[in-house]
């Protein structure tokens, strides 16, 4: 039996888990996340609601971190709150949501650095937020440390797409 096809969504983004077993696929237009097995592309989780305008995913330990841009800016809410949704990769359940003033301006790109830090580039403005993941497998000790802002020249390059090719 062929694997069920993932429904078309606007602006999907995906990342394969560090153990190469699952593909986490963010559906921005639908506000959902799907998790597929890499072995046959069958669904583990289909269309999990995670919030308005989710963007990218990154893995730390047994956790997946998904940036969620939040509601679209409007005249009455020019800088809506975004969030980071934390998913336990073993249960495929949301186990935490990181929120706060540092996560306005549409959290978008996400990447890690040594020492348990995650960095979040924002869609609007020249802003990068810093998250301390603490124990890599404990979502409850994660904390949003704050944001760094600067000129477009200083911080804008962090949000430009970068293609990295690794060969063995």
Per-residue pLDDT at 8 exceeds 50: no
CA atoms within 13 A on the CB side of 17: 21
* Cβ burial 90-110 (10 Å sphere, 16+ → b, else e): eeeebebbbeeebbbbbbbbb
For 134, the domain range is: 55-159
The answer to the question of residue 154 being in a domain is: yes
The answer to the question of residue 93 being in a domain is: yes
CA distances from 47 to 10, 53, 148 (A): 13, 13, 33
21 DSSP 8-state letter: S
91 DSSP 8-state letter: T
The answer to the question of residue 36 being in a domain is: no
Instruction: Indicate the average pLDDT of the chain.
Output: 86
Q: What is the mean pLDDT of residues 128-151?
A: 90
The answer to the question of residue 3 being in a domain is: no
Question: Residue 153 in contact with residue 145, Cβ under 8 Å?
Answer: no
The answer to the question of residue 41 being in a domain is: no
Looking at the 3D structure of the chain, how many domains does it have?
1
The answer to the question of residue 86 being in a domain is: yes
Share of the chain above pLDDT 90, in %: 65
The answer to the question of residue 49 being in a domain is: no
The answer to the question of residue 63 being in a domain is: yes
Parallel, antiparallel, or unpaired: how do β-strands 107-113 and 117-122 relate? antiparallel
Per-residue pLDDT at 166 exceeds 70: no
Q: Is 72 helix (H, G, I), strand (E, B) or coil?
A: coil
Q: What is the mean pLDDT of residues 70-82?
A: 92
pTM of the model: 0.85
């Amino acid at each position: 039996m062929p694997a069920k096809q993932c429904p078309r969504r606007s602006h999907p983004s995906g990342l394969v888990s560090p153990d190469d077993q699952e593909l986490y696929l963010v559906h921005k237009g639908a506000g959902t996340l799907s998790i597929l097995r890499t072995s046959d592309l069958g669904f583990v989780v289909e269309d999990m609601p995670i919030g308005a305008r989710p963007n990218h995913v990154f893995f730390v330990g047994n956790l997946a971190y998904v940036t969620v841009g939040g509601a679209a800016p409007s005249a009455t809410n020019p800088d809506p709150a975004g969030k980071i949704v934390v998913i336990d990769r073993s249960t495929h359940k949301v186990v935490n949501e990181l929120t706060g003033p540092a996560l306005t301006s549409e959290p978008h790109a996400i990447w890690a650095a040594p020492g348990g830090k995650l960095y979040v580039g924002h869609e609007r403005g020249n802003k990068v937020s810093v998250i301390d993941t603490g124990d890599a497998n404990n979502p409850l000790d994660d904390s949003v440390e704050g944001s760094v802002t600067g000129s477009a020249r200083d911080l804008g390059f962090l949000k430009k797409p970068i293609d990295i090719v690794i060969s063995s």
